[in-house]
């Protein structure tokens, strides 16, 4: 006898024992999307940005809507951006398994004209979250969230970099205002006496409006210089007296020729000090200095470096590579660069220095991990004397 009982097709894929939550974070509004599996219609809600009490309420309502007990675990995600990592720490503290996602790694529709709204974006994130949970690990890249202390340790050198850029802009602004009047200073001094001594092409003094503007710019420059001196003094004090592991790594890097305290501090705080690299590929990938080939059919070309990962490290690594060529001429890396790229013209050297920067980051990682010097590299004289 034939069995006439039909089997109902499951209309979603996943486990109803987990509630999935995706965030689209805006300045004034957060869009939320909830689901319990692929194929299940998402529950979408909007709340005021940073309203954690309303967020907790919506999570409980979503569990009731899907018929889940209040103890059901929640898995969530949001794109890394302006909001940083504070939300991740809150979610983890409340028992939510959260993922902070690199937005540049998220799959997108390649149509020339694709619809894009916050509602569509949060639904797309929700689907990717469920696929990631079901084992598709390559749908995006999940970031490693630093601890509050690790994040706070970045503030000094980032503020110092910002102040130095602002100092340069202020100096250039002062020079531009003076050049506009045909004046070029041999020494950057705009004190009261120096301003009174400036003469224009016809021997006249500066006009009152320009003079007052230059005085304000000079006061700003003096203030910036004082702030820079304060931060540099704080950094010197830390390098001299701290016994922190990260500071020990800075001192170790600074024993190599071509590496000073500025670059050693940045590389450790941003790169080596709080990450546990497993292999050289991870080092290259995080720096964003890996190539991006395009091989499809008969079309084969290089698209340049990926520029993923930490931009602060990437810029410092390229600068360090030029210094390495200059101050470590006998090292294997420098000899490789000269033999392969030095005679190829300006463009070839620019390409080669990026490749050298990637290799140098890998060698420095090995140096910190094992203590083995890069082949042919030399230590500073003061390090050898110790």
Residue 150 pLDDT greater than 90, yes or no = yes
| Average pLDDT of span 41-52 | 95
Between the CA of residue 155 and those of 145, 160, 162, what are the distances in Å?
16, 8, 10
Q: What's the token pair of residue 41?
A: 């219609």
Residue 14 belongs to a domain: no
Residue 12 belongs to a domain: no
Least confident piece of the model among 203-207, 222-226, 303-307: 303-307
The per-residue pLDDT for 127 is 94
Residue 6 belongs to a domain: no
Q: What CA–CA distance (Å, rounded) separates 4 from 339? A: 78
Q: Do 251 and 365 reside in the same domain of the chain?
A: yes
The per-residue pLDDT for 192 is 87
Residue 2 belongs to a domain: no
Q: Do 160 and 81 reside in the same domain of the chain?
A: no
Q: What is the pTM of this model?
A: 0.85
How does the average pLDDT of the chain come out, rounded?
90
The per-residue pLDDT for 360 is 97
DSSP state of 373: P
Residue 298 pLDDT greater than 50, yes or no = yes
| Average pLDDT of span 114-118 | 75
Q: Do 260 and 372 reside in the same domain of the chain?
A: yes
User: SS3 for 330?
Assistant: coil
The per-residue pLDDT for 294 is 79
| Average pLDDT of span 2-28 | 67
Among 109, 382, 112, 90, which Cα is nearest to 254's? 382
Residue 16 pLDDT greater than 60, yes or no = no
Q: Do 96 and 190 reside in the same domain of the chain?
A: no
The per-residue pLDDT for 303 is 82
Residue 277 belongs to a domain: yes
Query: How many Cβ atoms are within 10 Å of 219's Cβ, its own excluded?
Result: 11
Residue 346 pLDDT greater than 80, yes or no = yes
The per-residue pLDDT for 11 is 47
User: How many residues does this entry show for the chain?
Assistant: 386
How many domains would you assign to the chain?
Answer: 3
| Alpha-carbon torsion (352, 353, 356, 361), positive or negative | negative
Q: Do 210 and 276 reside in the same domain of the chain?
A: no
Q: What's the token pair of residue 21?
A: 């939550």
115 lies in which domain range?
19-145
Residue 14 pLDDT greater than 60, yes or no = no
The per-residue pLDDT for 328 is 96
- Top pLDDT among 376 and 39 is at 376
């Amino acid at each position: 006898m034939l069995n006439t009982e039909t089997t109902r097709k499951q209309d979603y894929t996943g486990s109803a024992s987990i509630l999935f939550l995706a965030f689209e974070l805006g300045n004034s509004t957060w869009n939320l999307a909830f689901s319990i599996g692929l194929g299940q219609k998402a529950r979408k809600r909007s709340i005021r940005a940073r309203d954690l009490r309303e967020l907790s309420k919506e999570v409980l309502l979503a569990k009731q809507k899907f018929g889940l007990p209040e103890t059901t675990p929640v898995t969530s995600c949001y794109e890394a951006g302006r909001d940083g990592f504070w939300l991740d720490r809150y979610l983890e503290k409340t028992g939510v398994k959260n993922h902070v996602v690199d937005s540049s790694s998220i799959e997108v529709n390649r149509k020339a004209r694709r619809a894009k709204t916050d509602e569509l974006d949060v639904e797309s994130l929700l689907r990717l979250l469920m696929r990631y949970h079901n084992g598709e690990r390559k749908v995006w890249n999940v970031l490693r969230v630093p601890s509050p202390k690790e994040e706070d340790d970045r503030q000094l050198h980032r503020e110092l970099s910002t102040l130095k850029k602002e100092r340069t802009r202020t100096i250039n602004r002062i020079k531009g205002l003076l050049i506009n009047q045909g004046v070029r200073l041999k020494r950057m001094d705009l004190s009261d006496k120096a301003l009174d001594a400036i003469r224009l092409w016809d021997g006249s003094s500066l006009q009152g409006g320009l003079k007052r503007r230059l005085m304000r710019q000079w006061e700003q420059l003096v203030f910036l210089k004082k702030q820079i001196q304060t931060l540099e003094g704080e950094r010197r004090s830390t390098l001299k007296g701290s016994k922190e592991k990260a500071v020990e790594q800075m001192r170790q890097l600074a024993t190599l020729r071509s590496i000073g305290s500025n670059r050693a501090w940045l590389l450790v705080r941003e790169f080596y000090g709080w990450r546990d690299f497993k292999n050289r590929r991870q080092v290259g990938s995080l720096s964003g200095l890996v190539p991006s080939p395009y091989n499809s059919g008969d079309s084969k070309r290089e698209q340049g470096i990926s520029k993923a990962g930490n931009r602060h490290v990437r810029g410092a690594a390229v600068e360090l590579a030029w210094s390495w060529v200059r101050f470590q001429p006998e090292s294997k890396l420098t000899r490789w660069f000269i033999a392969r790229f030095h005679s190829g013209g300006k463009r070839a050297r620019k390409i080669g220095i990026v490749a050298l920067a990637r290799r140098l980051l890998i060698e420095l990682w090995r140096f910190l991990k094992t203590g083995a010097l890069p082949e042919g590299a030399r230590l500073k004289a003061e390090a050898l004397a110790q």
